[in-house]
Structure 1
Amino acid sequence: MSVTTPLPRSVAWLGHGGLLPFVALAGLVALDPSRQPLWTLALVAYGAVILSFVGALHWAFAMLLPDLPAATRGRLYTWSTLPALVGWVAVWLGWPLAVACLVPGLGLHYLQDRRLAAHTALPAWYLPLRGRLTAVACIALTLAWLATTLG
């Protein structure tokens, strides 16, 4: 289910702008081998922050969507905390294991978004935007990993 509303311009700018650190840091990982440890740490930290952010969206959905059954609401609250924990573990694991946490974490969270959208009314723009943002973040993390592995 979805509610037909256009993608707000500010949401588009902020969402796509949030990809700049992923893309820039992945580029720096590939192009500046002398400071690779700094760039990979920054990329992991940013990925963990973004994973926590998308988790928090489900906390907000649990609070604000009026027609959710109590069991679904409880699952959303629980699920919303897991991405922060995965991101935290990723930071501690460091590069390259962090990528093995962040990429699946972002992908699984997008799948949870799809699952939620199938049962409640979210803006029609939400899933396409989340899909694009998730794809670019995962690609940037993966390309940075490849640069450190192959480079």
Structure 2
Amino acid sequence: MLTYRVTSFSDVSRTIRDFGATHLVSLVDPDMDAPLTPDTISHHLVLKMHDVDHDRNLPGTPQDAQVADLIAFARALPADARVAFHCVAGRRRSTAAALICDLATGPAATPDRIDAAWQRLRNARPDADPNRALLRIADSQLRLGGALRDLRVVRHMTLDQHAKD
């Protein structure tokens, strides 16, 4: 199981320090600079993309190659890695990346494992609203048969229904 924290751009330095992060994933707008890599971080993956929910091959949208880089990053992590993920607000791109990396590490992603990863993400970041484009691309690359897209829809419908009750 991946050990991680999800945070915003403004809190990333504090999160790295307080959590003791060893690895960092920055998902920032194409015109933004990623934060400087602290000495305590052994690998810093920077992915530049807009926070859009479509994955059309347009400049600045999430791309297949970026998700492939994210999955490769996750699969190369040592067992004791402590990963900090951040985007601008810490809600969409970073939560999608954390979920993708959690599923890309360890055993095959069964329905129970996908559900457990979703619950870990919601526990870590209750306001998580993972970027749909990143989830669609990862679902294809991880060969999950629509499980990420379906899980997200089901969970949000359930949460919305409880909010109305």
Q: Which TM-score bucket, shorter chain as reference? A: under 0.3
Please give the TM-score of this superposition, normalised by the length of structure 1. Answer: 0.28
Relative to the length of structure 2, the TM-score reads 0.26
Higher relative contact order (CA 8 A, sep 6+): 1
**Higher share of residues assigned strand:** 2
Structure with the largest fraction of helix: 1
